[in-house]
Amino acid sequence: MALALLLCASVAQAQEVTPLPSFSLERLELNPGLGPMTLGSGELLPERALRVSLVGHYQRSPLAVQIEGERLSLLRDRTTGWLSLAYGVLPWLELDAQLSGVAVQQGDDPTSLGIRSPSRSGLGMSWLSARLGLLKSTPQQAVHLAMELGAGLPVGPEGALVRDPGVSARGRLLLGRRFGIVTPALEAGVLLRPTVVFGTSLGTQDRVGSEARFGAGLTVGQTLRGEVTARAAFSWEQSRTSAEVMGGLRYSPSALWEVFALGGAGFGAEPGTPRFRALAGLAILLGAEPTPPPEEVFYELVTPLPPRKSSSQTPREGTSSPPSLPEPTPEPLSTEQSKPEPSSPDDGQSSAEPEPDTDGDGVVDAVDACARERGTAAQNGCPAEKPPLVTLTRDRLVLHGQVFFDTGVSTLPGSSPVLDQLAEVLLEHPEIQRVVIEGHTDTVGSEASNRTLSQERAETVRRYLIEKGVPSQRLVAQGFGFRRPVSSNASTEGREHNRRAELRLLLGEPAQTGATQAPPL
**Same domain, yes or no: 83 and 132:** yes
Whether residue 3 has pLDDT greater than 90: no
pTM of the model: 0.57
Handedness of CA 209, 210, 212, 215 (dihedral sign): positive
Q: What is the DSSP string of 311-345?
A: TTTPPPTTSS-PPP-PPP---PPPHHHHSPPPP-T
Burial class (CB in 10 A: 0-12, 13-18, 19+), 77: middle
Q: What is the DSSP string of 166-210?
A: S-EEEEEEEEEE-BTTEEEEEEEEEEE---EEEE-TTS-EEEE--
**Same domain, yes or no: 419 and 497:** yes
Answer whether residue 116 is part of any domain: no
Work out the percent of the chain whose per-residue pLDDT is above 90.
27
Handedness of CA 447, 449, 451, 453 (dihedral sign): negative
Answer with the one of 260, 286, 312 that is the final residue of a domain: 286
Q: How far apart are CA 69 and CA 271, in angstroms?
A: 18
| C-beta separation of 131 from 174 below 8 A | yes
Answer whether residue 20 is part of any domain: no
**CA terminus-to-terminus distance, the chain:** 70
Q: How far apart are CA 59 and CA 76, in angstroms?
A: 8
Domain count, the chain: 2
Q: Which residues partner with 146 through β-bridges?
A: 133, 174
| Band (97; pLDDT cuts 50, 70, 90) | very high
**Same domain, yes or no: 419 and 477:** yes
**Same domain, yes or no: 299 and 268:** no
Q: How far apart are CA 126 and CA 168, in angstroms?
A: 10
168-197 per-position pLDDT tens digit = 999 999 999 877 678 899 999 999 999 887
Q: How many CB atoms lie within 10 A of CB 116?
A: 13
Average pLDDT over residues 474-500: 77
**Same domain, yes or no: 228 and 315:** no
**Same domain, yes or no: 187 and 49:** yes
Answer with the one of 268, 286, 304 that is the final residue of a domain: 286
CA 140 remoteness from chain centre: 15
CA 266 remoteness from chain centre: 25
Residue 97 belongs to domain with CATH number? 2.40.160.40
Q: What is the DSSP string of 35-100?
A: S-TTS--SPPPPTT-EEEEEEEEEEEEEEEEEETTEEEEEEEEEEEEEEEEEEEEETTEEEEEEEE
Answer whether residue 12 is part of any domain: no
Residue 397 belongs to domain with CATH number? 3.30.1330.60
**Same domain, yes or no: 244 and 321:** no
**Same domain, yes or no: 326 and 471:** yes
Angle at the Cα of 112 from the Cα atoms of 110 and 114, rounded to 5 degrees: 75
Q: How far apart are CA 259 and CA 251, in angstroms?
A: 5
Q: How far apart are CA 241 and CA 192, in angstroms?
A: 16
| C-beta separation of 146 from 154 below 8 A | no
**Same domain, yes or no: 275 and 365:** no
Work out the percent of the chain whose per-residue pLDDT is above 70.
69
Q: Which structural domain, as residue segments, surrounds residue 498?
A: 295-517
Rg of the chain, C-alpha, whole Å:
32
**Same domain, yes or no: 174 and 52:** yes
Answer with the one of 262, 286, 310 that is the final residue of a domain: 286
Q: How far apart are CA 456 and CA 515, in angstroms?
A: 10
Phi, psi for 246 (deg, rounded to 5):
-130, 155
Answer whether residue 316 is part of any domain: yes
**Residue among 235, 256, 246, 226 nearest 191 (CA):** 235
Q: How far apart are CA 406 and CA 56, in angstroms?
A: 32
Q: How far apart are CA 369 and CA 384, in angstroms?
A: 13
Helices (H), 340-474: 417-428, 447-467
Answer whether residue 15 is part of any domain: no
Is 392 in a helix, a strand, or coil? strand
Average pLDDT over residues 483-512: 66
**Same domain, yes or no: 278 and 302:** no
24-83 per-position pLDDT tens digit = 889 889 999 988 999 989 989 888 899 999 999 999 999 887 665 667 788 899 999 999
Q: How far apart are CA 189 and CA 358, in angstroms?
A: 65
Q: Which residue has the higher pLDDT, 513 or 485?
A: 485
Angle at the Cα of 291 from the Cα atoms of 290 and 295, rounded to 5 degrees: 135
Phi, psi for 429 (deg, rounded to 5):
-125, 80
Answer whether residue 185 is part of any domain: yes
Q: What is the DSSP string of 439-453?
A: EE--SSS-HHHHHHH
CA 59 remoteness from chain centre: 27
**Same domain, yes or no: 231 and 333:** no
Share the mean pLDDT of the chain.
75
Average pLDDT over residues 263-274: 90
Q: How far apart are CA 471 and CA 96, in angstroms?
A: 49
**Residue among 477, 411, 483 nearest 441 (CA):** 483
349-400 per-position pLDDT tens digit = 444 567 777 777 777 776 676 777 787 777 777 777 666 676 666 555 566 6
pLDDT at 282: 96
Answer whether residue 6 is part of any domain: no
Answer whether residue 322 is part of any domain: yes
Q: How many CB atoms lie within 10 A of CB 359?
A: 17
Q: How many CB atoms lie within 10 A of CB 61?
A: 18
**Residue among 451, 456, 464 nearest 424 (CA):** 464
Q: What is the DSSP string of 201-220?
A: TTS-EEEE--EEEEEEEEEE
Is 461 in a helix, a strand, or coil? helix
Average pLDDT over residues 93-115: 86
